[in-house]
Amino acid sequence: MPNYAILHEKPECLYEDYERKSELHRQTHYCPGCGHGIVHKLLAEAITDLGIQDRTILISPVGCSVFAYFYFDVGNIQVAHGRAAAVATAVKRAHPHAIVISYQGDGDLAAIGSAEILHCANRGENITTIFVNNAIYGMTGGQMAPTTLLGQKTTTSPTGRDFHHDGAPMKVGEMLSALDGPTYIERVSLGNVKHIMAARKAIRKALETQIAGLGFSLVEFLSPCPTIWKLDPVDAQKHVHDVMEKSFPLGVKCDRTAERTAPPEPAPMTRLTELPRILRLPSTEPTPPHLSEEPLDWRIRVAGFGGQGVLLLGQLLAEAGMDAGLHVSWLPSYGPEMRSGTSNCHVRLCSGEIDSPVVSRPNALLALNEPSLRKFIASVEPGGVVIYNGDSIPADCARHDLRVVAQPFAEIADSLGSAKALNIVMLGAFLSLSHALPDSPIEGALKRLVKSDRWLELDRRALAVGRERVPAEEFVHA
Ligand SMILES: Cc1ncc(C[n+]2csc(CCOP(=O)(O)OP(=O)(O)O)c2C)c(N)n1
Ligand code: SF4
């Protein structure tokens, strides 16, 4: 009997139960013998052992590893194909103390995301990239990747990759190391146990590089994809060792850790709530509600047709909110048409930090037309505000738990000089009803965003009329 115990235990950093599928709580979605599973384990162990689980943010784009967030018990962001390095940059800059890891396949990193990774590495962003090179697009069924080997058959190179037609396999590790920006890049392999142990060390070194603030690190894994290669797991691993390692030499491609130093600690950001906001408002105005003790959290959806000024209305709210010292976000969403397509935007005005710019449960809806009212009214939070450009709310949309104002705002705007000022009349109505913002930041935002004097004058009148038409205390239940 051996005098040691074999432990099958997961690193803390992996969830105990994977909730992706109710019937498969202990199983990942990876094929048997897939390299992603091994890389996940090595990465999870390193995160746990280095004690960084609570501050790790894993960025996974599209590819077979798209479900990484079901497995890693860390902060997770799932991003569009190829965009991991760009998102990782943003996250790291916004949260310098987080450990930010982008986890990317070769299709993702070396094809669609090649520009992102190149510039991220060149800027020396202090992030770590886990690059899983299986020489193929796995998730989409086996198309040729930039790293596909010469002669390798794929669905898009059925007779084998041909140098004269398709160029040479891209050596990402060497290519990025030729830049001065990166600090540490190593190519490792999952081709046998000895190499897996070396890969284990490389992940740790890459993460330690980031923890020490020394800049960009990347580990490239030569990784088996038995399913698409049409090999059994053992032969696929052998293929990594016997074939892939010949085309992609293993080893450290650059290690500048000894010559790099961490930049000075970033100064803590002044929180907007700590700014002397009262100085920024005329002293004659009453203290607006957002400066009172009450936390403020306006989640506003503005919706209508393109050309109705939907986005400008949202921008005015966000700009004015910013001037009033609030945390704000403005997220436009529109179709490809320049005119008459649907258009809407999400606006948040908060006294605290904003968790997400997406407003899926608004407490205010400004609907500039009927289709938008129909589309969004059900999502408004009970007690929320609805301002609707129409004589009355259609009976089948009625809700009795909302504060609703329905008026022919376009006609009102038309009587002032142009139906196009509809958005500003509605803004006035909303401000009057909600007290969301005081006058002076709104005037400042109007002056900045409305460039022509003629329109500025008209919009000022439209704002005033909108306020008058909806006195603060007046509202109806639809
Ligand atoms: C913008 C965009 N283009 C194309 C796709 C289709 N697509 C999904 S995954 C993938 C390639 C995945 O290959 P790789 O990054 O090597 O990861 P693997 O699946 O091999 O792990 C492609 C082309 C997509 N999802 N989004
Ligand atoms: S297709 Fe390939 S990369 Fe994707 S899970 Fe299966 S073995 Fe892994």
20 domain-assigned = no
Q: Residue 363: inside a domain, yes or no?
A: yes
Same domain for 221 and 168: yes
| Whether residue 297 sits in one domain with residue 247 | no
pLDDT of residue 258: 98
Identify the domain containing residue 309 by its residue range.
289-469
pLDDT at 380: 96
* Token pair recorded at residue 301: 């959806």
What is the CB-side half-sphere exposure of residue 254 using CA atoms within 13 A? 23
Does one domain contain both 114 and 231?
yes
**Residue 306 has what pLDDT?**
83
Q: Tokens 């891209």 label which residue?
A: 170
Q: Is the CB of 35 under 6 A from ligand 1?
A: no
Angstrom distances, CA of residue 275 to CA of 291, 314, 376, 444: 11, 24, 35, 19
Decide whether any atom of ligand 1 lies within 6 Å of the 103 Cβ: no
362 with 447, same domain: the answer is: yes
Is 265 part of a structural domain of the chain? no
- CATH assignment at residue 197: 3.40.50.970
- 240 and 295 in a single domain? The answer is no
Do 251 and 306 reside in the same domain of the chain?
Answer: no
Rounded Cα–Cα distance for residues 457 and 38 (Å):
65
User: Dihedral, CA atoms, 241, 206, 140, 87, nearest 10 degrees?
Assistant: -170
3-state secondary structure at position 438: coil
> For residue 126, what pLDDT is reported?
98
End residue of a domain, out of 232, 255, 278? 255
Q: Whose CA is closest to atom 2 on ligand 1?
A: 81
Q: How far is the CA of 72 from the centre of ligand 2 (A)?
A: 18
Q: Are strands 251-255 and 184-189 parallel, antiparallel or unpaired?
A: antiparallel
Ligand closest to 172 (CA) is: 1
Number of domains in the chain: 2
pLDDT at residue 469 in the model: 85
The minimum-distance atom of ligand 1 relative to the CA of 82 is: 1
Same domain as 233, residue 308: no
Divide the 478 residues of the chain into consecutive groups of 10 and give the mean pLDDT of each group: 71 90 81 96 97 97 94 96 98 95 98 98 98 96 97 96 98 98 98 97 98 98 97 98 98 98 76 43 44 78 92 96 95 67 91 92 97 96 95 92 93 95 96 91 95 94 92 50
Q: Is residue 66 part of a domain?
A: yes
Query: Mind giving me the DSSP string for 307-342?
Result: TSSHHHHHHHHHHHHHHTT-EEEEEEEE-S-SSSSE
- Indicate which residue's Cα is closest to atom 1 of ligand 2: 138
**Domain assignment of residue 45, yes or no:** yes
Co-location of 305 and 400 in the same domain: yes
The pLDDT of residue 27: 86
Ligand 1 pocket mutation pick from 28, 36, 62, 244 by most atoms within 8 angstroms of CB: 62
Asked whether residue 8 is assigned to any structural domain, the reply reads no
User: Rounded to two decimals, what is the model's pTM?
Assistant: 0.66
The protein residue whose alpha carbon is closest to atom 5 in ligand 2 is 30
Which ligand 1 atom minimizes the distance to the CA of 81?
Answer: 26
Last residue in a domain, options 211, 234, 255: 255
What CATH number does residue 403 fall under?
A: 3.40.920.10
Ligand 2 pocket test, pick from 20, 27, 29, 36 with the greatest ligand atom count within 8 Å of Cβ, gives: 36
* pLDDT the model gives residue 9: 80
The answer to whether residue 204 is domain-embedded is yes
The pLDDT value given to residue 478: 41
Nearest Cα residue to 446 out of 464, 472, 469, 468: 464
Whether 322 and 249 share a structural domain = no
Full DSSP string of 191-203: SSHHHHHHHHHHH
Do residues 369 and 450 share a domain?
A: yes
Structural domain includes residue 29: no
Residue 62 C-alpha to ligand 1 middle, in angstroms? 5
